[in-house]
Amino acid sequence: MIRAVMLDWAGTMVDFGCFAPLNVFVEVFGRKGVQVTVEEAREPMGMLKRDHIAAMCQMERIAEIWVGLYGRKPNEADIDELYADFEPLLFSTLKDYATPVPGAVELANRLRGQGIAIGSTTGYTRAMMDIVCKGAKEQGYEPDTLVTPNEAAAGRPYPWMIYRNAEMLGVYPMHHIVKAGDTVSDMLEGVNAGCWTVGVIVGSSELGMTEAEVAACGESELAARKEAVAARLQAAGAHYVIDRIGQLDDVISHINARLGRGERP
């Protein structure tokens, strides 16, 4: 049976649409004269934030603009400068993005009622998560464990944060764990850890819509957007894709049946 879940934070359990870091990425590149798109800023979402900036710097269009401005591609010193600008801007807004997404608190309560432990991983540092955790706890959500990228050998897509959570929770082997998240890097993390891996669409960074935008979107257009997100998450290895995080325990029931038949992720 499934004994633990590993839940992402922003875009999965809190911060509907994962908007906290988005505008900050756009802002810090803009300060260097590089106007990045929302799509470029979102693409590496879920990674440690310095790694996220490094990944953006390697994007062909961004690197070409940088060469035009500075005569070379971005280097490690440039990444450090961008991150030095990024961190204080993010810290100043994080407290406003700790609200649990609809259904998250209720899901956590149901999982605990089934004896399932709740671990968590993130692309934020521990200092960032201290702010998010405080706000989320005040609104009813608190996992049993949390591991941040700076507390492991590396962040996503590597599996180390999940392994550390599993160690703290005393859960093994890894097929007794479900990993759920909203980004490609979440899916890669779960697959690399050997967990059942579940992608979430509504509220995700991949969908990139506010609650109001989801509500106002036409049925056919929303269905097409959701289908595109599902395809990206499945291509990254998701065993299941669900519409909303509150449906995770339904998937766990299916996984338990598969485990009973001797199936493994």
**Residue where a domain stops, chosen among 33, 60, 92:** 92
- Residues 137, 14, single domain; the answer is yes
Check whether residue 67 and residue 135 sit in a common domain.
Answer: no
> Can you give the pLDDT at residue 215?
97
149 and 65 belong to one structural domain: no
Structure tokens at 198: 């579940």
Segment 122-133 mean pLDDT: 96
**Mean pLDDT computed over every residue of the chain:** 97
In this structure, the answer to whether residues 126 and 228 fall within a common structural domain is: yes
Instruction: Just list the catalytic residues.
Output: 8, 49
Task: Please choose, from the candidates 121, 141, 143, 146, the residue with its C-alpha nearest in 3D space to the C-alpha of residue 47.
Answer: 121
Dihedral of CA atoms 199, 55, 127, 129 in degrees, nearest 10, equals -10
Same-domain pairing of 10 and 135: yes
Structural domain containing residue 210: 4-18+98-260
Instruction: Give the SS3 label for residue 75.
Output: coil
Q: What are phi and psi of 28, to 5 degrees?
A: -70, -35
- Domain end call among 32, 60, 92: 92
Q: Is 177 domain-assigned?
A: yes
pLDDT tens-digit series, residues 88-119 = 999 999 999 999 999 999 999 999 999 999 99
**d(C-alpha 33, C-alpha 19), whole Å:** 22
Per-residue pLDDT reduced to its tens digit, 28-81 = 999 999 999 999 999 999 999 999 999 999 999 999 999 999 999 999 999 999
Are 37 and 164 in the same domain? no
Instruction: Measure the CA–CA gap between 124 and 257, rounded to whole angstroms.
Output: 34
pLDDT for the residue numbered 25: 96
Q: Say if residue 106 is exposed, middle or buried (CB neighbours under 10 Å; 0-12, 13-18, 19+).
A: middle
Q: Is the peptide bond before 265 cis (omega within 30 degrees of 0)?
A: no
Q: How many domains does one find in the chain?
A: 2
End residue of a domain, out of 72, 92, 112? 92
State the pLDDT at residue 2: 98
Q: What percent of the chain has pLDDT over 70?
A: 100
Residues 138, 88 within the same domain: no
Say yes or no: 192 and 105 in one domain. Answer: yes
Instruction: Give pLDDT tens digits for 151-204.
Output: 999 999 999 999 999 999 999 999 999 999 999 999 999 999 999 999 999 999
- The pLDDT of residue 151 is 97
Looking at residue 231, its amino acid is A
183 within domain boundaries? yes
